[in-house]
Amino acid sequence: MSYIHPVAIGGNIFGYSTNYNETKNILSMCSHYGLNLIDTADVYSNNLSEEYIGRIINLKQFKNKFYISTKAGLLPGESANGKYTRNYLIDKVNNSLKRIKIDCIDFYLLHKFDDKNSLLEIMNTLQNLCNDGKIKYFGFSNLSKKEFLIIKKNKKYFKSYNYNQSLYNIFCEENVAIIKNCKKSNIFSTSYGSLLRGILTEKYLTNKISKKSRFFKSEKIRKHLSHKMINFLKKLNNEVCKYQMNISQFAIYNAINNGSQSAIVGMRNLSQVKNICNNFDLNRANDAKKIKINLDKKIKKFNISYY
Q: What is the pLDDT of residue 187?
A: 93
Give me the domains of the chain, ranges plus CATH numbers.
Answer: 7-198+247-282 (3.20.20.100)
Does the predicted TM-score (pTM) go above 0.85? Answer: yes
**Angle CA(15)–CA(8)–CA(192) in degrees, nearest 5?**
85
Residue 204, Cβ density class (10 Å: 0-12 exposed, 13-18 middle, ≥19 buried): buried
Asked if 277 and 30 count as a contact pair (C-beta separation under 8 A), the reply is yes
The one-character DSSP state at 15 is T
Q: Which residues of the chain are modeled with pLDDT < 70?
A: 1, 207, 211-212, 306-307
Spatial separation of the C-alpha atoms in residues 95 and 44, rounded to whole Å: 14
37-66 confidence digits (pLDDT tens): 999 999 999 999 999 999 999 999 999 999
Q: What is the pLDDT of residue 18?
A: 96
Amino acid at 151: I
Q: What is the pLDDT of residue 217?
A: 73
Q: What is the pLDDT of residue 246?
A: 97
